[in-house]
Amino acid sequence: MQAIKALYNGRDIKPMEEIKTKKKTEVIVIFPNEIEERVTPEDARRFLRGSGKGERLTEKLLKSRAEDISLEGN
């Protein structure tokens, strides 16, 4: 996973750093709860990874996605 800094002006999101991918890719944008709140890239990664130990969030998400795919195929 890659995290970068970007500026949002109310309409567009403009990267402040190089985006290291050459193909189109899906992204997740996280906005802090308050404008003054700063989230470091490391904290953003931790939030996305489901940092609760023993919750097996990745496995749950993969299982849910597999179920979605099987429903889409019908």
Domain contains 57: yes
In whole angstroms, give the CA distance from residue 47 to residue 28.
Answer: 12
Domain contains 1: no
Domain count, the chain: 1
C-alpha gyration radius of the chain: 16
Check residue 37 and give its pLDDT: 64
pLDDT digits (tens, 9 = 90+) for 13-57: 898 888 888 888 888 887 766 656 677 777 777 776 655 566 677
Check residue 24 and give its pLDDT: 85
Domain contains 22: yes
Amino acid, single-letter form, for residue 35 = I
In whole angstroms, give the CA distance from residue 5 to residue 33.
Answer: 16
Could you tell me the pTM of the whole model?
0.38
Domain contains 46: yes
Domain contains 12: yes
Check residue 55 and give its pLDDT: 66
Confidence of residue 7 (pLDDT cuts 50, 70, 90): confident
User: Which domain range does residue 27 map to?
Assistant: 6-73
Give me the residue label for tokens 């999101």.
13
- Long-range residue pairs from 6-13, CB within 8 A, at least 24 positions apart, any chain: none
Check residue 23 and give its pLDDT: 85
